[in-house]
A = this chain, B = another copy of it.
Amino acid sequence: MQPNPTFLNLPEEKKRRIEGAAADEFSDNGYRSASINAIVSKVGIAKGSIFQYFGDKKGLFLFIFGQSVEKVKAYLKEVRDATADAPLSIRLEETLKAGVDFTRKHPVIYRLYVRTLAEKEIPFRSEILTSIRRYSLEYLGSLLETARDKGELRDGVNLEAACFIIDASMDRFLQALTLPHMDGGLGIHNADEDELNRRIKALCNSLLSGVTP
């Protein structure tokens, strides 16, 4: 999980170039098909250096992935704290907005996550995914519980199912943002800022209100 100190002592800019190229490569090609050749020739360093920094391909992947997860967590924590007193609808909106924002700033991170989802032989895949899902559900769970305690929810609401639906919908929303092909009916992919915000509001509204009378 931890790269060699050598790597950590590298000039900030070089580090970022390596991380960037590796994240790109993994998110474009998944773990197994990602090529260390491609990474080093993009960055312009010797092949051996990568192995000096990270030991092996697995070590590189674990580091890049771990970094990404940390970034996402930090981002979400910020949103949670910043909206602590807002009503649920606003908190969901802000969460999704933050997700959109983050996905745009770090598109590779989201793709990296999707790739990890799909690939079987990724090192520690099971642990990685389980921990991500758990974190995500805890986050949404705490939002919903707070809302329930404040009386914002209907009686008898199934919190688990609600979490599941919200999680899945937001996840898909972000997928649609990253992958044009998943942008089924919502026209998210090429939307401008205003349009996107309307979409977010609409989705969150629908998530909260359901469709039946």
Contact = CB atoms under 8 A, between A and B. Distances in A.
Interface stretch (A28-36, A62-70, A77-85): A28-36
Interface stretch (A8-16, A38-46, A98-106, A179-187): A179-187
Contacts of A30: 30, 32-33, 118-119
A129 B176 CA distance: 11
A3 to B, nearest CB: 17
Interface residues on A, range: 35 or more
A150 to B, nearest CB: 12
A144 B211 CA distance: 10
A184 B168 CA distance: 10
A118 B118 contact: yes
Given A30-B118, A114-B117, A165-B203, A133 B210 contact: no
Interface string A138-176: 000100100000001111011011111101110111010
How many monomers of this protein are in the complex? 4
A205 interface: yes
Given A117-B114, A179-B117, A184 B164 contact: yes
Most buried by B among A119, A129, A160, A181: A181
Contact of A171 (B161, B168, B181, B205): B168
Given A154-B213, A164-B203, A171-B168, A29 B121 contact: yes
Pairs of residues from A and B, 4 with the lowest C-beta to C-beta distance, nearest first: A210-B210, A118-B118, A129-B181, A168-B172
17 contacts: A29-B119, A30-B30, A117-B182, A126-B180, A133-B181, A134-B184, A154-B210, A157-B206, A162-B211, A163-B185, A164-B203, A165-B206, A168-B168, A208-B210, A208-B212, A210-B210, A210-B211
